[in-house]
Amino acid sequence: MRRQNSRRAILGIIGLVVVATIGALIQPVNAQSDGGTRRLTVGQTVTGTLSAENFAESYVFDASAGNSATLTATTTVAELSLALVLTGPDGAVVARDGDLSSATVAVLSNVALPLDGAYVVTVLRGTGADGDATGDFTLALAGNIVAPATATPNNSNVSPAVSGRFVFVNLEDGGVDMSLAWASAVDLNLEVRDPIGGAIYGDNLTGESGGVHGGDVNRDCTTATADNPTESVDWPQGSVPVGSYEILIYYNQPCSVGGPQNFTLTTDVNGDDTQTISGVLNPGQVYLARVTLDVNRTWALFNGGVNAGLDTSLDGEFVEAQLGQTYTGTITNQNPKDVYTLDLAQGDQLSVNVDATSGSLDTLLLLLDPNGQRLLDNDDRAAGITDSTIQTTINTAGIYTVVVSRYGQVIGGTEGAYTLSINTGQQVANGTPVATNGTPTTPIVTTDSNLPAGSVEVLLTWATDHDLQLLVRDPLGNSVYDDATQVSSGGILGAVGNQGCNRADGTPTSYVYWPATRTPPVGTYEVEVWFQSDCDDTSLNTFQLSIKVANQQIFTTTQNANVDNHFMVTFTVNADGTPNLTPGEAGFFDMKNVSGGIDLAAALAGEITPMDYGTVTTGELNQDRKYQVYSFEGRAGERIDILMLKTAGNLDTAVYLIGPNNTLFASNDDISAGTDTEARNTNSRITGFVLTQEGTYYIIATHYGLRYGGTQGPFSLNLTLRN
C-alpha cells in the first residue's frame, strides 16, 4: 500500500460534482439562465460565493474531444483555499487542482478533453464543509474550445442544469423507470435511494426528487397474489438528478409459500432500450443494484448481488490518522471505501464517528485489529440514523485500521461526502449505537433529560397525558416528526412524548434537532404543534415551545390548546449559518376555515387578479406574501375545476373558493393525503364544484399554515369550466 499524507479534504469533495446534496426536489436553473452565470464561455469571467453552507459551485461548458482547456479560479480570501475539479461528459474526473499552497488561486492548465459533450467544473473550498470561511471568487475559461456538432444550444431545456452543488439533466424522451416483478405470493419490496438523499419505498411513496413508488404489493402477506406481482419506482419525463440511484430488493416475508424466489428487475431511462437483471433471493436477504446517470444522459444498470458479509480487504491509499482529529472524504461508486490507520496504546478508549454531509451516503464503519481482522463494525448509529459510530477500549497496542464505507460496500449505490472524527474517551454521538443487525442497544430518548445538543434545537414540553405532535419542516420541504424520525438534511427526532397516548416517564417532551456537527440548511423552517388526542385526560393543556439556533434562543412561548388545535411559527437560518433573531408570526390556524389564518376582509379589499375560464396564471408565495387573490365571473349551475400546482421550491399549496357573498364555498389542502396505495400529493384541487349563484367569485391561493406558514415558491393556477 502507498501511504498518503495529503489532505483528504480535497479528494473528498470530488464526488460532489455528480452527487446531489440533501434535500428536496430543487427546481434547477438552466445553465444559461441568470444571465449565463452557470455556463462558461471562453474569454468571459463569472463570479460566485463560497461559504460553510455552500462550499462548492458548479458550472458547465461544451467542448469537443481533443480540445484543451485552462480554468483559473481566484479569490482574495486565502482561507477559502480554492480547489478545482473538472468532470467529463461520462461523469469521470478529468482533472483536479487541490494544491492548498496557493490558497487564493486554483488552476487547471491545458487540460486535454477526451470526449465530446458537456463538462462540469466545480470551484470549492479546500476545507470542504469544515470551517466558516466565506468569500467571493472569479472563474475564467480559456483554450481552443469548440462545441461539438451535437452540442445542445445554450437555451435548450435539455442541457445540464446546475444549482450550486446540484446537477440535473432534462430527460425529453422518457423518465427513469424501475420495475420489480416476481411470480409467487410472497412479499418482496422495492426501494430506490436517489442521488439527492431521498428514499422511496412502500412506506414513503414519494421523494423530493420527483420519484414515485407505485405501491407495496403483497404487503404483510394480506391478500397476497401470485398473479404477476409488480412494484415500481418511477421519475416522470423532465428534470432528474444526475448520479447514482441505489436499488434495494428485499425478501420481506415468505408468506405461506416460502423458499427461494426468482425476480426480474427492469430499468429504462429516457425511453432507451430497457436493461434487466434476473436474480434469486432467500427469505430475509437483500439484493443490491444501481443505475448511474451522467450529464450526457448516458446511463447504465449495475448488477450488485445479495448483500452478504463484510469486505475487510485493503488496497490503494490510506491516511495515517491521529487521535483528536477530524477528517473529510467522499464515498462514490469509484471509491467505495477510505482507509485510515491509528497507532493505539493498550487501555485507550476509542470513539469513532462518521457522519454523512451530502448526497445519499448511508455510512458503514469498520475497525480492524493489528492483524487486519474485523474487530467491530457499525452500519446505523441508531434506528433511523444512517450515520455510524464505534466505541471500544483497546486491549492490545498496535496499528489499528478504520474503514469508512457505505451500506453494501462495493455493490452499494449511495454516494456522498462525510466527516470522520476520531477521539479518545466516551464521546456523545448523535444517537444510540446499534448492532449491525439494526437492533438498537437502547430505545429512543423519551424524557427531557440528556437531550443531545444541536445546531438547531426545537423543544416542546407539557405536563398532561395529552398526545401532542411536534413537526419541523426544513427549507427543502422535508418534515421531521414521529412518522419520519430523520431527514436527509440531518434533522432528527431526538425525543417524543406521550406518542399514541403512551404516557412518558417524567415530563412529556418532544425534541427535534440538527446535530451540532452538521450545518443546517439555509432558509425558512416551519414548526408545528398539533394537539392530536386528549388521551382521556380532561385537564387543560398548556405547552411550552422553544427554538434555539447556533446556541441563540430565538423563540419561546407558552400556550393553552384544545384537541385538534394547530399552532405554527417559522424561523430562518441565514446564509452565514446565523439565525434571523426575529421569528415569523406565530399563532393557531385551521385549514378548514380560511378566516382561521387569513383576514378575509383585508384579502378581498387588496390586490386581486382577474381570471377567465380556460386560463392558467402564475404566482409566487414567500415570507412577505402569504397568499394571492384572483377573481372570476360565474353563473349558477356552472361546474368548475380549480387546480393549484407548485412549480418550484418547497411550497405546500392550499386553495379556497369564496362566493359572491364573501363566504367560503370550497377548499382543498392536499390532492392526496397519502395512503398505502396512493402517493401523497401536496398540490391542491377543487373538482366539479357547482356554482349556486351569479356573481364575482374569488380564489385565494395560499399555503399550509395560512399566514403563519413557511413553505414558499412559484405556482400555477388553472381555472376550468366543465362542459
Please give the single-letter amino acid code of residue 63: A
State residue 25's pLDDT score. Answer: 27
299-336 in b/e burial notation, b at 16+ Cβ within 10 A? Answer: bebbebebbeeeeeeeeeebbebeeeeebbbbbbbebb
Alpha-helical runs (H) found in 442-569: none
Residue among 511, 516, 528 at smallest CA distance from 652? 528
Cell of 222: 394480506
| Architecture field, domain 176-306 | Sandwich (2.60)
pLDDT at 254 over 70: yes
User: Looking at domain 596-721, which of 2.60.120.380, 3.40.190.10, 3.30.110.60, 3.40.50.970 is its CATH number?
Assistant: 2.60.120.380
Distance CA 517, CA 357 (A): 10
CB within 8 Å of 613: residues ≥ 6 apart: 632, 640, 719, 720, 721
pLDDT of residue 97: 77
Residue 711 has phi, psi (to 5 degrees) of -75, 150
- The closest alpha carbon to 434, from 387, 397, 396, 485, belongs to 387
CA-based nearest residue to 518, from 18, 13, 22: 22
Confidence band, pLDDT 50/70/90 cuts, at residue 487:
confident
Q: Quote the distance between the C-alpha of residue 18 and its chain's center.
A: 15
Does residue 458 contact residue 513 with C-beta atoms inside 8 Å? yes
Place of cell 417524543: 496
Cα–Cα distance between 280 and 265 in angstroms, integer?
A: 11
Stretch 236-257: mean pLDDT, rounded?
A: 90
Find the mean pLDDT for residues 435-454: 47
Q: Which whole number is the average pLDDT over 378-404?
A: 87
Please state which of the ranges 139-143, 242-246, 271-275, 648-652 shows the lowest mean pLDDT. Answer: 648-652
Confidence of residue 315 (pLDDT cuts 50, 70, 90): confident
Do domains 176-306 and 318-424 share one topology? The answer is no
Smallest CA-to-CA distance from 15 within 214, 240, 165 is with 165
pLDDT confidence tier of residue 685, bands split at 50, 70 and 90: very high
Cα(85)–Cα(97) distance, integer angstroms = 7
Please choose, from the candidates 170, 190, 165, 172, the residue with its C-alpha nearest in 3D space to the C-alpha of residue 180: 190
What is the rounded (10 degree) CA torsion for 149, 154, 157, 160?
Answer: 80
Q: How far apart are CA 180 and CA 192, in angstroms?
A: 11
pLDDT level of residue 251 (50, 70, 90 thresholds): very high
DSSP secondary structure, 505-544, as one string: SSS-EEEEEEETTSPPPSEEEEEEEEEEE-TT--SPEEEE
Give the CA-trace dihedral at 159, 161, 162, 163, to 10 degrees.
160
CA distance 118 to 105: 24
In degrees, rounded to 5, the angle at the alpha carbon of residue 612 between the alpha carbons of residues 609 and 614 is 130
User: 405: which 3 cell numbers?
Assistant: 464505507
Position 446 pLDDT exceeds 60: no
Look at residue 84 in the predicted model and tell me its pLDDT.
87
CB atoms within 10 A of CB 26: 23
Domain 318-424 architecture: Sandwich (2.60)
How would you label 427-444 residue by residue, b for 16+ Cβ within 10 Å and e otherwise? Answer: eebbbbbbeeeeebeeeb
Q: Hey, what's the cell of 81?
A: 483555499
Residue of 311 and 266 predicted with greater confidence: 266
CB 200 within 8 A of CB 157: no
DSSP string, 326-358: EEEEEE-SS---EEEEEEE-TT-EEEEEEEE-S
Inform me whether the pLDDT recorded for 579 exceeds 50: yes
**Cα–Cα distance for residue pair 568/479, rounded to 1 Å:** 14
One-letter amino acid of 360: S
Residues 220, 18: Cα–Cα separation, whole Å: 37
Q: What is the mean pLDDT of residues 369-378?
A: 87
C-alpha cell at 534: 386528549
Q: Which of 249, 185, 188, 174 is nearest to 216 (CA)?
A: 188
Nearest-CA neighbor of 367 among 399, 336, 345?
Answer: 399
Helix (H, G, I), strand (E, B) or coil at 708: helix
Pairing of strands 541-549, 628-634: unpaired
Residue where the block lists cell 462514490: 332
- 73's enclosing H/E stretch is strand 68-74
Q: How many helices (H) and strands (E) does the chain have?
A: 3, 50
d(CA 613, CA 722): 9
> Is the pLDDT higher at 157 or at 342?
342
In this predicted structure, what is the pLDDT of residue 378?
A: 87
- Farthest-apart Cα atoms in the chain, separation: 88
pLDDT in tens, 691-723: 989 999 999 999 999 999 999 989 999 999 987
- Using CA atoms, how far apart are residues 340 and 88, in angstroms rounded to an integer? 29
Output the nine-digit C-alpha cell for 656: 379556497
pTM, 2 dp: 0.48
Q: Which one-letter DSSP state was computed for residue 445? A: P
Q: Of 275, 273, 262, 207, whose CA–CA distance to 229 is shortest? A: 262
| Residue 402, C-beta contacts closer than 8 angstroms, at least 6 positions apart | 321, 339, 340, 341, 342, 352, 365, 366, 367, 368, 420, 422
Give the pLDDT of residue 158. Answer: 47
pLDDT band at 549 (very low <50, low <70, confident <90, very high): very high
3-state DSSP percent of the chain in helix, strand and coil, to 5? 5, 50, 45
Banded pLDDT at 352 (limits 50, 70, 90): very high
The answer to whether 286 and 307 are in contact (CB under 8 A) is yes
Nearest to 103 by CA among 129, 72, 130, 77: 77
Backbone angles phi, psi at 655, to 5 degrees: -135, 140
In the sheet that holds 176-182, the strands lie side by side as 212-213, 230-235, 176-182, 261-269, 275-281
* CB contact at 8 A, 543 and 556: no
Reduced 3-state DSSP string for 198-256? CEEECCECECCCCCEECCCCCHHHCCCCCCCCEEEEEECCEEEECEEEEEEEEEEECCC
End-to-end CA distance of the chain: 75
CATH number of 31-156: 2.60.120.380
Reply yes or no on whether the pLDDT at 310 is more than 80.
no
Q: Where are the domains of the chain?
A: 31-156, 176-306, 318-424, 454-589, 596-721
Highest mean pLDDT among 210-214, 483-487, 528-532, 677-681: 528-532
Q: Containing H/E element for 277? A: strand 275-281
Evaluate if residue 129 carries a pLDDT over 80.
no
